[in-house]
Chain A
Amino acid sequence: MNRLREKFAELKSSGGKALVFYLMAGDPDIPTTLDIIKGLDESGVDAIELGIPFSDPMADGPSIQAAAHRALGKGMTVRKCLDLVRSVREFSSIPIVLMTYFNPILHYGIERFAKDAVDAGADATILTDLSPEEAKDWVSASKRNDLGTIFLVAPTSTNERIKRAGDISTGFVYCVSRTGVTGAQSDTPTDLPTLVNRVKSMVGAPVCVGFGISEPRHVEEITRYADGAVVGSALVNLITKHQGSEKLIGEVKKYAMAMKNATRHDETPPRT
């Protein structure tokens, strides 16, 4: 069974909330990416979004743009990203969602990518610029290969579009917290609870919120009404800050544990 669905089923039965971390594959290099994923897994992170770098990331802010640029500069390719997933599977069964733009997948071949991704050990994909209208072939190819598909909903989405995204999302629905590109922000938008509750009332799948989440207090707040939180640019920034230093993995783990602790607020008292 798909590791991502299993993870959310497990969280549901235990009343837990998901913490998902995004990082760019191959930034700063493949061995470091593997070490970071190991560290995140050991810190109780529930799932990984692994970015496959694309040359023109139009929905990403400066942090992830720069990470993609660095990864491509180091010779990262789609094939190497899949190999990286395969290497993770040697030490971890943490759910992995591949996140990228549509062109690298289209160019690789839709059917071939869906098959190779599952063979490598990936559980789902998020393709930022693949709108549901254009996703028919991709959704069928993913279904045939038991690869999950996750679609995004945004503050501007109509109810009809939210339902449609829910219908073709497996694993979870990714709720974008604000209009804008990816990037750490200091506050969560005030209308976010309304948006999340609207989305939850319309889709069956769990709803995770991303874009702008960087601090434990954001996670603490968001996981009160959403099923999970996704952290991207903040981790990418942390990796950039400590890259090449021995402290990197320790800092990543410290941050991940603090963020995961922030998801545990209902029944379980915070652990340190």
Chain B
Amino acid sequence: MKKVKIHITLKEGVLDPQGKAVQGSLNTLGYQSVEEVRIGKYLELILADDANVEEQVEEMCKKLLANPVIENYQYTVEEGVTQ
């Protein structure tokens, strides 16, 4: 088994109203040093051992998991995961 950890983040220049609201709240709590918050998604996939995991994950991100118009993605593949 392989575990794939995927981070999906908003591209630079894409407005993140949710991040802005959270930043405002952090500032209200007294954390004045917080200048920006950007909110993204984190996904974990368990994949059967396969020769081309990277290629498949790349495709999955492009086709469905991320929207390339507004989002970037990054992932890592961990070997030898037991469920």
Answer whether A and B are interacting partners.
no
Footprint of A on B, CB under 8 Å?
none
- Which A residues form the contact surface with B (CB < 8 A)? none
